[in-house]
Amino acid sequence: MSEFFLDLRDKVRVIDFLADNAEYAAPNIRLDAERWIHAYEEQEKIPTDKLADAARKFAWSIWPARYAVSAYFSSEGSEEEWLRILAAVRPSTAHLLKRFRKGTDAKNLDETLNHIESDVAFHAGERVEIDEVRKHLRQAYWREKKSALHALVKEGERLRDGYRERLDVLREMIPNFPRTAQDEIMSKIERYSDRILFEGEVVPVEILDEEIKYYTDQKEISPLEG
């Protein structure tokens, strides 16, 4: 099993990622994603590297939208999401969610699902149900209310651009180091990219700044191997 949230060598999962998140894409980006999906469904020969590049481009383009929806439902919209989830899942799952939240004093859905005892309280099927319903509800909210999330989208764009700038700086530093350090930096870039692009994690930019500072300092004190 891959250590990444999305293994870009796994064509099935990459195609699923494109299909699952097409709602967030601008028309031209969505059309490109649909071409890849259609090609896969028609069993055309798809180069793994080209599909991976398309997935990266797609993920960067939709990140601000995904961020905006997540940020909204993690703050002022948390109770709205909770009520939407309860209304959409099976009655038995809704009952379990309400009981578990009350018993743990969780403030929202994230705290409920991330509680240390949640793996015992919820079976795998219930977690899948909640995750799938949540995914579709968030996409529906984006489709219906995207204009109301304009400020959060702009905030997401600033964050995304900051990520890209810092990852590019790290990538440009690679040739200045011996092979072992090059592999280390590239590995970190891939892991940060996976967490940000595909898992949708909001990584503090300060962490990337610390990585840049570390390798800048290392470059100054470590001679380059010939």
Average pLDDT over residues 78-88: 96
- Predicted TM-score (pTM) of this structure: 0.90
- Report which residue type is found at 151: A
- 3-class SS at 223? coil
Q: Residue 140: which pLDDT band, with cuts at 50, 70 and 90?
A: very high
**pLDDT above 60 for 222:** no
- Mean pLDDT, rounded, for 15-37: 96
Distance CA 92, CA 103 (A): 17
Here the tokens at position 82 are 């909770």
Provide the pLDDT for residue 197: 97
Q: What is the mean pLDDT of residues 24-52?
A: 97
Count CB-CB contacts under 10 A for residue 33.
23
Angle, helix 205-221 to helix 179-193, in steps of 10 degrees? 170
Predicted pLDDT at 3: 84
CB contact burial 136-173 (16+ within 10 A = b; e otherwise): ebbbebbeeeeeebeebbeebeebbeebeebbeebeeb
Residue 176 pLDDT more than 50?
yes
> Encoding tokens for residue 12?
């099935």
* pLDDT score for 219: 78
Query: Residue range 130-158: average pLDDT?
Result: 96
What is the CB neighbour count within 10 angstroms for residue 56? 14
**Residue 19's pLDDT band (cuts 50, 70, 90):** very high
As a whole number, mean pLDDT of residues 133-161 equals: 96
Percentage of the chain modeled with pLDDT above 70: 96
Cβ(160)–Cβ(64) below 8 Å: yes
